[in-house]
Amino acid sequence: LPAAVLLKDTKLMDVKLGQLGSWLAMRDFTPSGILGAVRRGYDRYYNKYINVRKGGIGGISMVLAGYIVLSYVWSYSHIKHDRRRKYH
């Protein structure tokens, strides 16, 4: 029976739903930790979709799609005045 992996070292996809809260609490939220996380995320995305021999449109179009979604979310507060309501 292999030794149980510490909760600290499990990846997000292997964390059970019940453990999610404690796993999230254990993460490093210092500025350097956050910076490191951003750096790691960027490196992962870059090395998977952009830093390849024959990259496709997916590499940048996913970034654009995320940008579109994020900017929609940020501007929802003034877009909601365009809804079809009798009383806004």
Point out which residues bind other proteins (CB under 8 A): 48-59, 61-62, 64-65, 72, 79-80, 82-84
Q: Which is nearer to other proteins, 25 or 84 (CB)?
A: 84
Are 87 and 81 contacting, i.e. CB atoms less than 8 angstroms apart?
no
Residues 55 and 33: their CA atoms lie apart, in Å, by: 30
Smallest distance, other proteins to C-beta of residue 61, A: 5
Which of 29, 25, 28, 23 lies closest to 10 in space, CA to CA?
Answer: 23
Q: What DSSP state is assigned to residue 57?
A: T
Q: Which is nearer to other proteins, 1 or 54 (CB)?
A: 54
Q: Which two tokens stand for residue 49?
A: 């979709």
Smallest distance, other proteins to C-beta of residue 9, A: 16
Q: Which is nearer to other proteins, 34 or 65 (CB)?
A: 65
